[in-house]
Amino acid sequence: MEHHHHHHHTAPAQSLNGIFILSIILNGLFVLIEAGVGLWQNSLSLLSDAGHNLSDVFSLVLVLIAFRLAKVQRNERFTYGYRKSTILISLLNAVILLVAVGAIVIESIHKFSEPAEVNGIAVSWTAGVGILINGATALLLMRDQKSDLNVRGAFLHMAADTLVSIGVVISGIVIHCTGWTIIDPIVSLGIAVVILLSTWELLSDSLRLAVDGIPDGVDLHEIEQLLVENEHVKETHHIHVWAISTTETALTAHIVIDNLSHWPQVSEHLKHILTEHGISHATLEPETADCHCHNREC
C-alpha cells in the first residue's frame, strides 16, 4: 500500500488573518454603536441586527481559531492534527446563526403585540453605517470565499448583513415619513428570513462534511472514470472520499492493474490526476487481477 500525502492548501489562511482581524474590530465597534442606538430609540430591527452582527463577530473569531488549529502538526493522538476542527467550527457557526434567527422571530412576534415608537432617522443613519462596514467586509472576503467553507460562510453572512442594513434603512425612512412603526418587526422578520437562507447552505455543507460525506465539488463517478482511464488500470473498488478539513480532501482506493511492475508510474500518474481535482491526500492500494478475483490482498 502506498500513501501519498500532498498538502494542497487552497485557502490562503495566512493572508486572510489580517482581513479577519480588521473585520472583527470594525464589526465589534459597529455592534456597540447599533445596540446603543437600538436601546436609545427602542428599535427592535436595530437590536436584532446588532445581535446578529455580534454572532458574526464571534463567527469571525472562530474562523481565526480554525485557521490556527488547521496548522497544528499531527501527533500520536491526532494523526491529522486538528484539521477536522475547521469543519466543526463551520457547523458551530451555522448553529449559532439558527439560534439568532429563533431569538429574532420571538422578539418580532412580541413587538407585534406591543409596538413602540421608533425614531426613523436615527435608525436609518445607524443602519447606513452598517451598510458601509458590512459591505466593506464582504468585499474583502469575496475573493477567497470559494477556497474555504469557513471563509464562504463569513462572506455570505456579511453580504446578507449588507442587504439587511439596507432593509433597516428603508424601514427607518418609512417610519419617519408615515409613522407606521409596525414596519419595525416586519423588517426584523425579513432579517430572520435572510439569515436563515444564507445559513442553510453552510449548515448542510458542514453537516455533510462532519459525517464524512463527499465534499461539494467532488464527483465520485468522475473520479472513478479518471482512475480507470490509465492504460494499466483495469478497475477500481473500495473508493472512499471524505474531508480532512474545510480545504483538504482525502481518498482511499484499491487499484487493479495489469502488472505490479507498472505501479510506480501508475501511482504517480493517478496522484497527479487526483491532486488536480482537489484531492490532496490519497492512499492507493495496488492489486493484480488475479488477487482481486480471489478476493485476496496483494
The CA distance from 246 to 102, in Å, is 27
DSSP state for residue 73 in the 8-state scheme = P
Amino acid at 24: I
Residue 114 main-chain phi, psi, to 5 deg: -135, 75
Strands 279-288 and 233-243: unpaired
Do the beta carbons of residue 195 and residue 54 sit within 8 Å?
A: no
What mean pLDDT comes out for the span 122-129? 81
pTM over 0.85: no
| pLDDT, tens digit, 9 for 90 and up, residues 23-65 | 899 889 988 988 888 888 777 767 877 877 887 788 888 888 8
Cα separation, 69 vs 82, whole angstroms: 6
Residue given cell 493572508 in the structure block: 15
The domain covering 220-293 belongs, at the CATH homologous superfamily level, to Cation efflux protein, cytoplasmic domain (3.30.70.1350)
**279-288 and 249-257 as β-strands: parallel, antiparallel, unpaired?**
parallel
Residue 169: CB atoms within 10 Å = 20
Query: Residue 25 carries which DSSP code?
Result: H
Q: Which of 81-85, 153-157, 218-222, 250-254 has the lowest mean pLDDT?
A: 153-157
pLDDT at position 176 over 90: no
Residues 66, 107: Cα–Cα separation, whole Å = 32
* Domains 11-210 and 220-293 belong to one CATH topology: no
Closest C-alpha to 282, from 225, 247, 244: 244
For 11-210, CATH number out of 3.30.465.10, 3.20.20.70, 1.20.120.450, 1.20.1510.10 equals 1.20.1510.10
pLDDT above 70: residue 276: yes
Q: For residues 170 and 174, what is the distance between their CA atoms, to the nearest angstrom?
A: 6
The domain ranges of the chain are 11-210, 220-293
Evaluate whether 46 touches 34 at the Cβ level (below 8 Å).
yes
